[in-house]
Amino acid sequence: MVDDDYDSTDSDDVIGVMDEVVSFVMDIAMHLEIWLDFSFPNDEDDDEDFHMSDDQQDHVLAIEDLAPRLSAFRIKLCLDCMKKITFCKIYFVVLHLIPEHNVVKLLSTPKISRAKALLTHELKN
């Protein structure tokens, strides 16, 4: 999504790139409603103050290489109704839904953690 210099042989060194995550990502790429129904709290929907870390950018590039369905899905969705940065924010929040996956937490930011907490609260109610 970000860096055209990414080399797929580098994916072994990227945080959060493992079979469980790739399988999860391939599954969520088939569910449009996850992306369209997702909402951030009013104070969290400003894309201008969300900047992906180098680890997050490397992760997204590696995952898109290993799960091209996500890349194709992102391209279509971003052409039709969503900014890339919004897609990425949703992606990193949804990634937290993988049960007991501590490595994914390394890709989090305070903004992503707040959005995840809100999503978890809404799912419980």
Residue that has been written with the tokens 């290489």 in this structure = 65
Would 96 be classed as within a structural domain? yes
Would 80 be classed as within a structural domain? yes
Tell me the residue range of the domain where 19 lies. 15-39+51-124
Which candidate, 59, 54, 49, places its Cα nearest to that of 15? 59
Give the CA diameter of the chain. Answer: 44
Identify residue 113 by its one-letter amino acid code. S
Question: What is the per-residue pLDDT for 66?
Answer: 93
Would 7 be classed as within a structural domain? no
Walking along the chain (125 residues) 10 residues at a time, the average pLDDT comes out as 46 81 88 80 59 89 92 88 85 79 67 69 62
With H, G, I as helix, E, B as strand and everything else as coil, classify residue 79.
helix
Structure pTM?
Answer: 0.72
DSSP string for residues in 83-122? -HHHHHHHHHHHHTTSTT-HHHHTT--HHHHHHHHHHHHH
Question: What is the per-residue pLDDT for 102?
Answer: 64
Would 79 be classed as within a structural domain? yes
Would 74 be classed as within a structural domain? yes
Question: What is the per-residue pLDDT for 98?
Answer: 79
Question: What is the per-residue pLDDT for 64?
Answer: 92
What total of structural domains would you count in the chain?
1
Would 8 be classed as within a structural domain? no
Would 69 be classed as within a structural domain? yes
End-to-end CA distance of the chain: 34
Question: What is the per-residue pLDDT for 100?
Answer: 60
